[in-house]
Structure 1
């Protein structure tokens, strides 16, 4: 292959195509930033949609808290001597139920504002708990005579009490209790009731309760009983089960999901009885409210005092921003394969391609990802992908016909783009095998290019030698 005077060598043409491809990294990186910015706006819009409704909710309780009198000793220095004094203090004994049966019915709803969407829900909780003093209560250093059973509190925790519905009902041994806001004498989130726990001296105490609450995105329960049984059902068909405990049984289909949990206090690593200073934050109050925009499950507990939860998220079936972001990462492959095809026409077929033509076709390929993001926010990812890929493939095919001076050659460029878009969609759909499939396709493409260019004199040195 001879080099015509004034014409670039095949090697210089390759280098020029690479430099233009590298220059297109700047707008491609700008598309990544655009996706991130639109995702942030979507999260802010979702937070504004759910504002005032109730955040991701976490439940705990009921817990029976009984004040008792204890003796505290302190050592002070008086006149250079250590003096130990004793004084009476009030402390609190927290008693978790032996058994609790909970049923939660979650009714989801999609809320929209402009092109943005959030998932909110109404939930109804019904349950029954049984409290009883353990036979080894004396081991905890609490005597029955020191407890003020008449001033006991029955506490329920809800991470975002703004979502609590009207008129919750709680009854102890069939007697309705009057409910108060907050977490009892130590503050906190949720509601509580004063109760006379004197019947516990003779028999177990049974508590029935029911309440409604609103939330969004996720729901979790912090089990504390000796035997926690939690049944959850919902019409939402896309749940994600996470947290420290997974359901023992679950069903997920197009009609929704149902899940059953069973957790014992031995799995929790926690006794049913605990003591603390009066007014100190209890177990329920250490449960921080989840973030409004954080739809992920809470981190697993790492010590015996950490709150352990069973967590259910009502996830969106398609996160279009993550899919567009993944698609954008393949942008260099689109540019590389298209430029390679143009380069082959330039070197082998003798059709001269100018740097401006490379640049315009590369810009169209970058524009595909902008169109994909813009359409996906309105009509969904799959229709947007079809529409954007058809538009860019058609545009570059028509432009290639003018550049390559042949519709036959242009259809080869169009077919290449259609194949690339089809392969990219498959890679996005088969997330688990995307790396394997992509690697095999790249290997096949590289082998084809090496075979097709095996006789090309990239520096045109051999032609000059032959001429000499």
Structure 2
């Protein structure tokens, strides 16, 4: 005699066997798991912030990013003005830039550590030379006197703590000592000054200059193209340069053992003249910089952030595998078991960032992925009660993490790889589910 099922039994049976309800529950679980994945991203950003603080602290003790601005020759001009019955004088400076400016340098990078964080600093040996033509047009209205005997030369160095040795300027075959500080702070805020000998007799001739600069700094080394023709040649044994600023190298050669780069910038390539009176053009000069940044290749924090953005994909694909196993093999999986698997997937990113701080990213990724794939695969043995299905799940998870690893390495092609991978995954899902009758699958067979 058949026993009639009560409404409660029917509801309970529907809850257990409804595919639509199971899909809804899985979707809600995926959305809830976005909360811990978002928290993980905030942890990564916090650790990256601590790393940036370490860079700032080391730079403050070593020397910051360096920018070479100069040399500039400045000649005092005395102008006399009359205002009603009063006569007063004012001093203006004629600023003259070099006709030729050649910079040859070698950068020797070093890695320093602050706790567990790594910072790139460098020592550089720079040789600067060129020529000046001092015979420039001057506004002679109300001009009273030109003080050639008080002319001086300024070399801009953004962080003076980086100067390692005394600087001697060779000016027209004469060695001149430098003084700290800049007298033209409106144009060059930080630098050194050289008092020039009386240049009145040299006003119509080309004057050669040269000096060496041993300078240490952090990460960046930039230059200002003050010469009518500026030539810069830099070489280093650092294999990860990033060329920045308003001018890229005309020629570069980057290998695993270092790089060489050279720039040629003409007066016509910049937006300020070779000489002027007063404090004009300061902004335009500052905006014309160029140089090189010694970077660490796509650092671990950036890779970790990028990998965490794929958390939704990893969770969705893993849940999809479990769901298809439920449908195709009639293995019921409780929502709580989905939650445990989802949390394990989230813990992967915590492991990744914590291990990568003490080793390299690739090693951390391998250790983390093996740990999580192994954990979920062993757990699935109890859930699925099938070694074959567990091995299939392990292979699929390994493929997902392998695909993600390759995508992270190919930064420029990440979108292409991601779109191709998702297309293939969707195609595979459509293929394996093509024969499922979704209208009858939720009917529990008697």
Provide TM-score, normalisation by structure 1: 0.86
**Native 8 Å contact 2:18 2:442 kept in 1:** no
Please list, as runs of the form range in 1=range in 2, the aligned pairs for 1:395-414 lying within 5 A after superposition.
395-414=375-394
2:152 matched to which residue of 1? 153
Unaligned runs of 5+ in 1: 75-82, 287-302
Partners of 1:154 and 1:441 in 2: how far apart?
A: 61
Aligned equivalent of 1:420, options 388, 400, 425: 400
Structure-1 separation of matches of 2:185 and 2:438? 80
> In structure 2, what is the equivalent of residue 386 of structure 1?
366
Unaligned runs of 5+ in 2: 1-9
Tell me, yes or no, if the aligned pair for 1:320 and 1:381 is still in contact at 8 Å. yes
CA contact (8 A) 1:3 1:463 kept: no
Aligned pairs for 1:213-362 (under 5 A) are: 213-276=215-278, 286=282, 304=284, 306-362=286-342
CA deviation vs aligned residue, 1:101-144 (integer Å, no higher than 9, x gap): 2212211111113321111111122122211134x614x44899
How do 1:68-83 residues align onto structure 2 when only pairs under 5 Å count? 68-72=77-81, 83=84
For 2:66, the equivalent position in structure 1 comes to 57
- Separation of aligned partners in 2, 1:455 and 1:418: 27
Following superposition, the deviation at residue 265 of structure 1 comes to 1.3
CA shift in 2, pair 1:344/1:313, >3 Å:
same
Report if the CA contact (8 A) 1:346-1:353 is conserved.
yes
Distance, in Å, in 2 between the alignment partners of 1:84 and 1:428 is 77
Q: How does 1:156-235 map to 2 (within 5 A)?
A: 156-184=155-183, 186=185, 188-196=189-197, 197-235=199-237
Query: Counterpart of 1:137?
Result: 137
Q: Give secondary structure in 1 for the equivalent of 2:215.
A: strand
**Separation (CA, whole Å) in 1 of partners of 2:387 and 2:60:** 56
Q: Render the CA deviation track for 1:326-368: whole Å, top value 9, x for unaligned.
A: 1111111111111111111222211110111101111111111
Mapped to 1, the partners of 2:85 and 2:322 lie a distance apart of 92
Q: Decide which of 5, 22, 35 is 2:13's aligned counterpart.
A: 5
- Residue range with higher mean Cα deviation, 225-234 or 32-41: 225-234
1:367 maps onto 2:366 in alignment:
no
**Structure 1 SS opposite 2:288:** coil
Deviates more, 1:83-92 or 1:113-122: 83-92
Q: Which moved more, 1:363-372 or 1:192-201?
A: 192-201
Kindly tell me the number of residue pairs found equivalent between the two proteins.
433
Over the aligned positions, Cα root-mean-square deviation in angstroms equals 2.6
SS in 1 for 2:358: helix
3-state secondary structure, aligned to 2:226? coil
